A and B are shown apart, each in its own frame.
Chain A
Amino acid sequence: MTTDLLNHKLDRAFDHIDAGGKGVIEREDLLGLAARILVGFGESPTSVIGSSLVGGFDAIWSALMETLGRDGYSRITREEFRVGMEKAFVSGDRYDPVFRPAMEAVAELCDGDGDGMVGPREFRMLLSAYGTAYDDVDEAFDRLDRVGRGVLTVDELVLAARQFYVSDDPGAAGNWLFGPL
């Protein structure tokens, strides 16, 4: 059973994919988000990290469709997306094997020099790809950087993604991952 907060976040996640505002999404839309993220960082889908990211997003879509009993080329509505996400990744057991690797790939892409840290510039590039308004990015960063170091760790970013997509805790920092709700 999802809460209003989680439903609200899942709606936001749907909007991240539905860049054209059509009200339905398909596999190509999710992979289009992956393309937007990669190109923003200048990353090829045929690098190790690029391949992991695209493969991860594709796996998320496959898990969603499997959960909904649909084929991979189906279009789904906002309501179906909510149901699929809840069954597959919130109450279901697919988050760690399927969703988390994709989020790890995203976080590692943001860690361009491999030092385990994500700076404000890379965070802004990421949130720009998701469509977060320019003025909301700094606040999102500050909410996630709870100790004020000026950087996030890759692990913190991965944890924030988990909190955003599956947590119904209103106090979770990850609720701010993509800006104010």
Chain B
Amino acid sequence: MSTDVITSVRTALRSVLHWKPPAPRSGGPAAWALLPLTERVPALAAPCRMHPAVYAIEAAVIDWARRTGLRADPGVGFHRIAGRAFAGFDAAAAALFAQWLTWLFHLDDEMDEGQGRLEIFQGMLAGASSHPLEAAFADLWRVTSARMSDLWRARFAVNLQRQHDACRLEAANRAAGRIPTLQQYPALRRATVGPYLYDLVEPCLRVEVPPWLHGCEPWRELVDACNDVTAWCNDVASRPKEGGDGHNLVVIAMHELGLNQRQAVAWVLDRIAERCGDMREAAGRLPLDAFGPRTARDVSKVACAYLAAPRAHLDWLMESARYT
């Protein structure tokens, strides 16, 4: 990996870590409001298949977490969301994604609850491994980035920077008591959710989507729509525990459209259903015939993981103890 890319990753990560990210989007019983989607949206109709080696994936995550000093709470079940999203692929793919999720949520918790976090992050950025988060990030980055091109690493860094910028804007909004508009919110939310999560699908599957495809409108629309569907489902599930924070599509709909809570949730479900339709339409427009058979197959694997993600996330929201 080039020095420039290492520097850009560290700079972007440093920026993210110096700004407090949004509070965890907690769910609980509110997630049940999403259930009607499974009847009205064809793409959400069937429960996600679970990876047949889900227990081996769980064991791999627990073992990795112990080695790096992190917790792997079985009730939270990151292995179960990864096991669903990667049900058709090898267990190592799902385990790596679950390890990234475990790290990201620990980072989130550390930002919210940890003491002296800046010292910890300084060590992590310097490549130290005295804190579990430092060791875990170094381990994941080593395994993940070794498989990928500099272009992919640069994209990861750019998306870290996007998250930083969005978190900064959210913090400014909160300080000013400002609520984003319905027009502003989708792009902001796509960025605060951690857009590099979508980049991680490729190394987990040991493939790399051709760079020019990332610039194609259907691919961008597929990723954006997938991001919107999962983020807005999370908004519905987390709203009761967010204390009225304005960075939530249900709250914004209530504020801007003058809806009551029930009406706003229904309005958001309509938007989610529309974006599910956009996902299908975008996937169908991917220029798969422009690739040779092997590349088309690799691209399809990544796209299929995106298409499966909304239901995998929905199933996880219903069962995870993290938000109850």
Q: Hey, which bits of chain A sit against chain B, CB under 8 A?
A: 19-21, 28, 31-36, 38-48, 50-51, 54-55, 58, 72-73, 128-129, 131, 134
Contacts and interface: CB of A to CB of B under 8 A. Distances in A.
Which 5 residue pairs across A and B have the least CB separation, nearest first?
A42-B284, A51-B46, A44-B43, A46-B311, A31-B88
B147 interface: no
Contacts of A43: 43, 280, 283, 307
B18 interface: no
Interface residues on B, range: 35 or more
A128 B288 contact: yes
Interface SS majority for chain B: helix
A31 B312 CA distance: 18
Contact of A35 (B42, B48, B281, B301): B301
Contacts of A39: 283, 286, 288, 299-300, 303-304, 307
Given A28-B88, A42-B280, A35 B304 contact: yes
Contacts of A20: 293-294, 297
Given A39-B303, A40-B288, A45 B296 contact: no
B36 interface: no
B304 A45 contact: yes
Given A34-B88, A42-B281, A45-B307, A50 B46 contact: yes
A121 to B, nearest CB: 12
B119 interface: no
Interface of B: 42-49, 52, 88-90, 279-286, 288-289, 293-294, 296-301, 303-304, 307-308, 310-312
A46 B296 contact: no
B219 to A, nearest CB: 11
B43 A33 contact: no
A36 B307 CA distance: 12
23 contacts: A19-B296, A28-B88, A32-B300, A38-B300, A40-B284, A41-B284, A42-B285, A43-B283, A43-B307, A44-B43, A44-B279, A44-B307, A44-B310, A45-B49, A46-B44, A46-B48, A47-B45, A50-B43, A51-B47, A54-B49, A58-B88, A72-B52, A128-B288
